[in-house]
């Protein structure tokens, strides 16, 4: 099987590909000189210099780039590896001191015996411009029979300003030589006072039909994980009519296995800062808030939140709801202290919250399929 050199590089060494793409976009590349390039070194060297090292990284390389006609120009690119896989990259640009971090995820998906598909996803974060975030999906599809290769690129951007999110999604059929996007979507999404996103204006290329029936549509174009999860949290809070109860939502580094929690004493939903789950996690934790609201309506809860819910919603009149609320109550009494093991996974509060997750995911995937058939599969 014959593969083009670019693809060979792509499969073996990501850095070469990135360099290639950068050069393509950057026509005055000859102005730049390579000052230093290190071999792969252990991160312990950096740690002793006081440089913060991303979690999981074991080795790094560093490249220092200067400009021929500008002695002050300096760009230092530090690439971190975990088990020889790139896990993060820092770019420091001289005075501006812009640090971009990207995380890479690679999916190897043999679609079937005919095609082999690899998707590399890069998440760019710019510490100097937190209002901006960018996602890049590079997709390489190889036909196993004749060796032909197709490239695709999705470049998704969000700019956040006050309550408006500008979202742009561009799909390039061939990211190696095409500047023009084959398809693109530009949206202005407004986050309402209730935290729910709405599409305010849109511009889409011909042939794309954004379904008005898809209630999750605006959520699909929020690419920042935290913001997306927050929007979903408000969505579920509204779904269960819990919006006036003063439920707080926060993010922090949670301990080991925890990625989310609902605390009925504090009336707080907490998410782990690094959790990549969005809709499922929001559906799960808000469902816990709903469960305790129902327990409160039985007149059995002892937290201010439970009493507040009883006052707001009154007693439960529907017999099925009532029966379920008693199951919540019993499960709440037997809720284990540890968030693992059988007692935890078999607890009805958990089973019910997991079911809510599943339903949410099913709903979300419906619209995703319809959109993916038009503009790719990353929505």
Site of interaction with Zn ion (CB under 5 A): 350, 353
Task: State which residue, 223 or 236, has the beta carbon closest to Zn ion.
Answer: 236
Lookup result for tokens 């540890």: 338
Minimum Å distance from CB 288 to Zn ion? 6
DSSP 5-72: HHHHHHHH-HHHHHHHHHHHH-TTGGGEEEEEEPPPEETHHHHHTT----TT--EEEEEEEEETTEEE
Minimum Å distance from CB 120 to Zn ion? 33
Q: How far apart are CA 181 and CA 145, in angstroms?
A: 28
How many residues does this entry show for the chain?
Answer: 379
Angle, CA of 169, 170 and 171, to the nearest 5°: 130
Q: How far apart are CA 268 and CA 249, in angstroms?
A: 6
Residue 79, beta-bridge partner list:
61, 89
Minimum Å distance from CB 343 to Zn ion? 13
Minimum Å distance from CB 275 to Zn ion? 13
Minimum Å distance from CB 285 to Zn ion? 7
Task: State which residue, 134 or 272, has the beta carbon closest to Zn ion.
Answer: 272
Minimum Å distance from CB 320 to Zn ion? 22
Task: State which residue, 264 or 350, has the beta carbon closest to Zn ion.
Answer: 350
Lookup result for tokens 């979202």: 167
Minimum Å distance from CB 129 to Zn ion? 35
Inter-CA distances, 36 with 62, 75, 134, 231, 280, Å:
8, 11, 28, 44, 45
Minimum Å distance from CB 89 to Zn ion? 35
Q: How far apart are CA 247 and CA 310, in angstroms?
A: 15
Inter-CA distances, 362 with 61, 107, 356, 378, Å:
42, 22, 10, 16
Q: How far apart are CA 92 and CA 76, in angstroms?
A: 5
The first and second tokens of residue 119, run together, are 């998707």
Residue 230 CB coordination number (10 Å):
21
Task: State which residue, 92 or 251, has the beta carbon closest to Zn ion.
Answer: 251
Cβ neighbours of residue 263 closer than 8 Å, sequence gap 6 or more:
269, 270
Minimum Å distance from CB 19 to Zn ion? 45
The first and second tokens of residue 230, run together, are 């927050």
Task: State which residue, 139 or 350, has the beta carbon closest to Zn ion.
Answer: 350
Task: State which residue, 136 or 357, has the beta carbon closest to Zn ion.
Answer: 357
Task: State which residue, 171 or 350, has the beta carbon closest to Zn ion.
Answer: 350
Task: State which residue, 136 or 285, has the beta carbon closest to Zn ion.
Answer: 285
The residue of the chain with the least Cβ separation from Zn ion equals 353
Cβ 290 vs Cβ 263: under 8 Å: no
Torsion-angle region of residue 24: left (phi > 0), alpha (psi -120 to 50) or beta? alpha
Task: State which residue, 136 or 350, has the beta carbon closest to Zn ion.
Answer: 350
Tally of CA atoms within 13 A in the half-sphere of 375 that contains its CB:
28
Minimum Å distance from CB 284 to Zn ion? 6
Task: State which residue, 197 or 301, has the beta carbon closest to Zn ion.
Answer: 301
């Amino acid at each position: 099987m014959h593969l083009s050199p670019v693809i060979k590089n792509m499969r073996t060494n990501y850095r070469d590909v990135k360099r290639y793409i950068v050069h393509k976009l950057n026509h005055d590349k000859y102005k730049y000189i390579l000052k230093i390039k290190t071999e792969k070194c252990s991160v312990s060297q950096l740690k002793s210099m006081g440089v913060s090292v991303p979690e999981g990284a074991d080795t790094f390389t560093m490249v220092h780039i200067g400009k021929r006609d500008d002695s002050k120009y300096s760009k230092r690119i530090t690439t971190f590896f975990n088990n020889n896989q790139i896990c993060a990259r820092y770019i420091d640009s001289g005075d501006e001191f812009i640090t971009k971090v990207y995380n890479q995820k690679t999916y190897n998906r043999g679609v079937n015996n005919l095609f082999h598909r690899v998707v590399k996803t890069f998440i760019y974060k710019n510490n100097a411009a937190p209002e901006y975030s960018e996602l890049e999906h590079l997709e390489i599809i190889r036909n196993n029979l004749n060796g032909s290769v197709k490239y695709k690129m999705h470049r998704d951007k969000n700019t956040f300003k006050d309550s408006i999110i500008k979202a742009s999604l561009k799909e390039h059929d061939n990211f190696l030589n095409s500047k023009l996007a084959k398809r693109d979507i530009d949206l202005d999404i407004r986050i309402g006072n209730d935290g729910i996103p709405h599409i305010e204006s849109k511009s889409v290329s011909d042939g794309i039909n954004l379904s008005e029936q898809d209630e999750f549509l605006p959520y699909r174009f929020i690419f920042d994980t935290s913001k997306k999860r927050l929007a979903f949290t408000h969505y579920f809070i509204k779904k269960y009519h819990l919006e006036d109860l003063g439920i707080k939502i926060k993010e922090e580094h949670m301990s080991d296995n925890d990625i989310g929690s609902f605390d009925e004493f504090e009336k707080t939903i907490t998410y782990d800062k690094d959790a990549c789950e969005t809709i499922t996690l929001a559906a799960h934790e808000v469902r816990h808030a709903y469960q305790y609201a129902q327990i409160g309506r039985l007149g059995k809860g002892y937290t201010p939140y439970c009493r507040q819910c009883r006052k707001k919603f009154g007693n439960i009149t529907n017999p099925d709801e009532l029966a379920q609320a008693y199951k919540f109550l019993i499960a709440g009494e037997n809720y284990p202290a540890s968030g693992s093991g059988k007692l935890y996974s078999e607890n009805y509060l958990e089973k019910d919250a997991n079911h809510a997750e599943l339903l949410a995911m099913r709903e979300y995937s419906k619209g995703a399929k319809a959109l993916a058939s038009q503009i790719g599969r990353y929505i």
